[in-house]
Amino acid sequence: MATVHLRIGDLVWGKLGRYPPWPGKVVSPPKDLKKPRGKKCFFVKFFGTEDHAWIKVEQLKPYHPHKEEMIKINKGKRFQQAVDAVEEYLKKAKGKDQSHSDDKSKSDKGRKAAKPMKIIEEDDEDAFKGGSSDKPASSMEPITKRLKIIEEDTRSTSIQAADSTAINGSITPTDKRIGFLGLGLMGSGVVSNLLKMGHVVTVWNRTAEKCDLFIQEGARLGRTPAEVVSMCDITFSCVSDPKAARDLVLGPSGVLQGIRPGKCYVEMSTVDPETITELSQVITSRGGRFLEAPVSGSQQLSNDGMLVIVAAGDRSVYEDCSSCFQAMGKTSFFIGEAGNAARMMLILNMVQGSFMATIAEGLTLAQATGQSQQTFLDILCQGQMASTFVDQKCQNILQGNFKPDYYLKHIQKDLRLAISMGDSVNHPTPMAAAANEVYKRAKALDQSDNDMSAVYRAYIH
């Protein structure tokens, strides 16, 4: 990626911990606040908040070139207030520049231009504060306090993953009791955000130790899936594959044993339509209400409360889940009868998996032909294919960082299921089939539990 050149006074998008990029301004730090050792960073004051922090240079982007991109991927009342505060600040600055320009032309035309301001002017403070004064106190706490340590390691899943109030605005949690089964890469972030938004959540996980952190933060513990369903009004499930989804419902002490008339079950796992049809039938046969709601995203987006939810099945359950979906997601879609969401999600993941394989192929071909992989990425990120996904995945590849954000074995599973779905309607899926073979090769190279970007290694071995 091209080097970021910044100076005091520049407007930027700053990424702090697991929070989404936020508009801010590079300012001079207080005299008593030392710069972190060994890290190239700038001191940034964020608009619409009281927050300020040292931000590493790789977590900063210039404001104007990335404004449209950031507005598309972020949402929420506080985010919009922050953007509005920037625009108000720019209006004030423009007015001052015009006034200064007029004064100059009258008095000292020969004087050199002033150096950039190194401190924030008093009347700039209002622009930085912004926001509404009636926000809950918890949502207005400085980000640095909520994260405890500004430069904390963001790679591990934490109950402090994201403040969904800050991301999604003020959400009133449902008074229904929520259950959640499965605390993997995706489920952990979802539960974090449900708890932060004030939902009453009971959790269960096959490996019970994973529940401990959430219990400490106020979640309740269910001993079995059946117990969770019997205790809760709405129970969500997020597991790895069709077999795990079936076992959770049909196995010993499974969901089916706890289902009673009126109980809601929401399947968030990415599985095939046939599995969804089976689960829907057995749940409703006991008087339960069923919704499928697989999610498009990654561990990072789950932590940030920025998933995209695609739901189908019982529309009334979808409506009952409104506050939950707002807490965990950027947006949600309802697309009809059960099975439709599974089909749509497999198509989405088929495209994403094929695209990732193609990007990895391009990077390795660049290297094989003597071209700079970094230059390839820089050019790519300035063109029509520029996206956060491309930037992050390619940077991880170049750094040799394949810590899972979305397991390679799971994207290969989705490709396999998508190809099978294509076969069922006699529709060709040659691109997906080719990508699937590359992922199978990567799995043979022991990359299953790495990130999907580790498909890169299939091309270099």
How does residue 103 score in pLDDT terms, banded at 50, 70 and 90? low
Q: Which helix (H) or strand (E) holds 330?
A: strand 329-334
Mean pLDDT of 197-206: 95
Q: Is the predicted pLDDT of residue 168 greater than 60, yes or no?
A: no
**CA–CA dist 266, 141 (Å, integer):** 33
* Diameter over CA atoms, the chain: 87
Give the per-residue pLDDT at 99.
62
Question: What is the average per-residue pLDDT within 254-268?
Answer: 97
What pLDDT, on the 0 to 100 scale, is given for residue 232? Answer: 98
Lowest mean pLDDT segment, chosen from 8-12, 309-313, 438-442: 8-12
Give which of 216, 214, 179 is closest to 200, Cα–Cα: 179
pLDDT at 161 exceeding the cut of 70: no
pLDDT at 128: 52
pLDDT of residue 95: 72
Question: Which of 82-96, 117-131, 228-242 bottoms out in mean pLDDT, i.e. has the lowest?
Answer: 117-131
Categorize the per-residue pLDDT at 138 as very low, low, confident or very high, splitting at 50, 70 and 90: very low
Return phi, psi of residue 231, to 5°. -85, -20
| Closest by Cα among 303, 73, 311, 74 to 169 | 74
347-390, pLDDT tens digit by residue? 999 999 999 999 999 999 999 999 999 999 999 999 999 888 99
Residue with tokens 């699937």: 436
Helices 340-368, 430-444: axis angle to 10 degrees equals 70
Distance CA 7, CA 443 (A): 46
pLDDT at 423 over 50: yes
Q: Supply the pTM of this predicted model.
A: 0.66
Q: How far does CA 294 lie from the centroid of its chain?
A: 15
pLDDT digits (tens, 9 = 90+) for 264-284: 999 999 999 999 999 999 999
pLDDT score recorded for residue 50:
73
Tell which residue, 432, 164, 440, has the closest CA to residue 324: 164
In angstroms, the CA 199 to CA 177 distance is 8
| Confidence band, pLDDT 50/70/90 cuts, at residue 54 | confident
pLDDT of residue 353: 98
Q: Which residues pair with 369 in a beta bridge?
A: none
| Sole residue written with tokens 């002017």 | 121
Kindly state the DSSP code that residue 194 receives in the 8-state scheme. H
* pLDDT mean over 322-350: 96
The rounded Cα 185 to chain-centroid distance in angstroms is 12
Higher pLDDT among residues 36 and 47, named by residue: 47
232 neighbors 238 (Cβ within 8 angstroms): no
Say yes or no to pLDDT of 156 above 50.
Answer: no
Q: Residue 406's closest CA among 458, 377, 447?
A: 447
